[in-house]
Amino acid sequence: MPVVECDVEEARERLAAAGAEISTGNTDHERWRATLGDANAVAYDGQVVIQGQRPQDVEAVLREGGGRVHAYFDGASRGNPGPAAVGWVLVSGDGVVAEGGERVGRATNNQAEYDALIRVLEAADDYGFDEVQIRGDSQLIVKQVTGAWDTNDPELREKRVRARELLERFEEWSITHVPREVNGRADELANEALDK
């Protein structure tokens, strides 16, 4: 559950300008409540607490944009194809910005890996980062996204096109293959989502 330290009246104005539904707080300690997308925010003195399926819907509006982020992604499939899930983590110089894991239906492992890449790029874009340094333990995805390898699979080709479209939103980007141990948290989030 992200907590943003901020001027809560300025935060309220920014959320209202972004189209959030604002209401009064439910207790004496709550200054106001807001709903935007799939996230809810509750303001207290000097901070806003964010909850919901996609906390980045609110957090991206409240945090200052720009800068560089490290984006970790991992997909998992049990059965290949079978039930699949994704995990992703955004890390800036201040620590973990956001993370998530969710089921994505039935997919192959490679399809799930692409879905995870797409999710982390969407989150980095939502937060307004200018530069993204992507890390994943799927050599196939890294090689295909950079153009070193091609694919004959139409579904993977379509997912690669979507990933490249998202990458165009950043001023700078890189994608690097890393060992599974380096990508541990994204892997954990994907497997937790599968276990639910």
Last residue of a domain, one of 25, 47, 62: 62
Last residue of a domain, one of 62, 82, 112: 62
Contacts of 149 (CB under 8 A, 6+ apart): 140, 143
Cβ proximity of 54 and 88 under 8 Å:
no
Query: Among 47, 38, 43, which Cα is nearest to 3's?
Result: 47
pLDDT of residue 1: 67
Same domain, 49 and 139: no
pLDDT of residue 106: 97
- Residue indicated by tokens 């807001």: 34
Number of independent structural domains in the chain: 2
- Residue 7 tokens read as 């001027």
Query: Among 82, 140, 85, which Cα is nearest to 115's?
Result: 85
Distance CA 117, CA 124 (A): 11
Same domain, 74 and 108: yes
User: What does the pLDDT look like over 136-192, one tens digit per residue?
Assistant: 999 999 999 999 999 899 999 999 999 999 999 999 999 999 999 999 999 999 999
For 72-97, give one letter per residue: b (16+ CB within 10 A) or e.
Answer: bbbbbbeeeeebbbbbbbbbbeeeeb
- Residue 156 tokens read as 């993977």
Same domain, 153 and 126: yes
User: What does the pLDDT look like over 57-91, one tens digit per residue?
Assistant: 888 888 777 789 999 999 999 998 999 999 999 99
pLDDT of residue 60: 80
The per-residue DSSP string of 115-151 comes to HHHHHHHHHHHHTT-SEEEEEES-HHHHHHHHTSS--
- Residue 73 tokens read as 């992604």
Same domain, 149 and 89: yes
Residue 38: give the domain boundaries: 3-62
CATH number assigned to the domain comprising residue 150: 3.30.420.10
Same domain, 112 and 177: yes
